[in-house]
Chain A
């Protein structure tokens, strides 16, 4: 038994170190191979990985199946979008604040904006559970989608174009390679925070609540509060992903908040492995790679994704991560 356990741990270690090396070396290697579009493609993967990890905190660890996570992703993107737009137009944002192209202001703003919204939506949705929770989170995100479609001042349906990426201290993130590493560091930092979180007292309470909420309450936990804080932290993570995506695309649109976008992030989590921190990173990578490769072939690429997803979910309890590491437990 101990022998097995250590072997699994070695396998996990090898996987994680290989993954990290791959991500670290991707820009130089792709420039040698003259495939520099890979850098920008993988920035997108890293950003979606960040969003998927944040969703996994609520779904995999908290047992709260939300179909509205894209709302926080989109709000984060718009947080950057609003500030950049007003900076470009030299007009005032709300409460007499000016716009800015400084990432050190607009990214934290995006994070707080998303977290605040998650706190409000969570406070209302978490009064329900199960299928009602899925429906109400979906309804909220659709509400925000339509709200942003109707914001004519910010481009409405067409979205907002940003003239350039934000300024980030001495780093020139208009350079795709620099931006790639900023995305990578953001993801690693968020993974580290999440790792501490799920192993802390707080994380233990959240996992217990997923397993058996009634028992948690009879033990003395006011579970609602813990779920709400978890939901808010996940919203903050999605907000950061949104801020990065706005910079990556130099464009934001209401489509980011559409419930199908929530569905895609959910699929990434399922594919990679719920309740594992690194699984969603694999899931985002697999999903976007499949989309890229298959979409070049046929516009009906989802037809292939469906069966693939079913196979992975049926045969690997912890998704791709479980398949690769042989781990059954977090």
Chain B
């Protein structure tokens, strides 16, 4: 009997005539990196939005640790242990790196109806914030306002915030997009380190990263999962080659 952190079954989501998620079922085993690939507009981001609660599916169910969370609001899912990074960087632009990470840390340290004590004097928060900054490699940039970070650093911060809450399941939406090869390599290492402890749903166009990291891969085309398997199985799947990998070569 497999131990699944996430089980999605028969998920449907349409925007008007567009079936962005079409009868999609997917399981993620605990501690594994599960990659989700597919051409632009396949519905990858739309799936993440439904998993984390930004969108509610038209039908189907989402089980997180065997609990039906299909209709849970976003904050509740986050507190149950779901972290999410954004395809389009979404950080607090006017706050410092440290304040950004601190907000992510603070969310998982009880409620925040503390009105009197300066937040910077909360020792446990401070320590956890320092650790989280160290982990995403931004300790040296702690006091920089987020809006003046480089593109790559901002991506790091986005992922760092998702990680700071120590999630059980991490949903990463193209974390390496526009990062450059050095940044991609660092991000690959970071995700590699998570293996075993944190389960990851990884959306990524960088095939090298996907094939080196993923335990399993699901290929999404027009909202439908056309194949799921190991890197090798996916590479050798003729349907995938036709529908997706072939496309890529055509484009390139």
Interface of A toward B, CB cutoff 8 Å = 196-197, 199-205, 207-208, 211-212, 214-223, 226, 229, 329
Contacts and interface: CB of A to CB of B under 8 A. Distances in A.
Interface string B80-93: 00001010001111
B92 A219 contact: no
Interface stretch (B23-31, B113-121, B219-227, B236-244): B113-121
A304 to B, nearest CB: 32
A229 B95 CA distance: 22
Nearest to B104: A219
A200 B108 contact: no
A196 B116 contact: yes
B118 A200 contact: yes
Would you list the 6 A-B pairs with minimal beta carbon distance, nearest first?
Answer: A220-B78, A220-B107, A217-B74, A201-B114, A211-B92, A219-B107
Interface string B92-123: 11110001001110111000111111111010
| Most chain A CB inside 10 Å of its own CB: which residue of B78, B95, B108, B112 | B112
A202 B103 contact: no
A204 B106 CA distance: 10
A77 to B, nearest CB: 26
Given A199-B120, A219-B161, 4 more contacts: A196-B118, A204-B99, A208-B95, A223-B75
Given A204-B112, A218-B52, A199 B165 contact: no
A226 B145 CA distance: 24
Contacts of B103: 204-205, 208, 216, 219
Contacts of A203: 119
Interface residues of A, dominant DSSP: helix
Contact of B119 (A201, A218, A329): A201
A127 B74 CA distance: 16
A205 B120 contact: no
Nearest to B116: A196
B247 interface: no
Given A204-B99, A217-B75, A211 B94 contact: yes
Given A204-B103, A208-B103, A212-B91, A218 B115 contact: no
Contacts, number: 90
10 contacts: A200-B114, A200-B117, A201-B122, A202-B114, A203-B119, A207-B95, A211-B94, A211-B95, A218-B78, A226-B113
Nearest to B93: A211
B190 interface: no
Given A200-B119, A201-B114, A208-B103, A215 B90 contact: yes
A232 to B, nearest CB: 12
B196 interface: no
A201 B117 contact: yes
Contacts of B165: 219-220
A218 B171 CA distance: 11
Contacts of A212: 90-93
B178 interface: no
Contact of A204 (B78, B93, B119): B119
A205 B74 contact: no
A260 B203 CA distance: 51
Specify which of B93, B94, B99 lies most central, judged by the most chain A CB atoms within 10 Å of its CB: B94
B119 A214 contact: no
Nearest to A330: B94
B52 to A, nearest CB: 6
A220 B83 CA distance: 9
B54 A214 contact: yes
B246 interface: no
B73 interface: yes
B113 A222 contact: no
Given A204-B119, A212-B91, A215-B91, A222 B114 contact: no
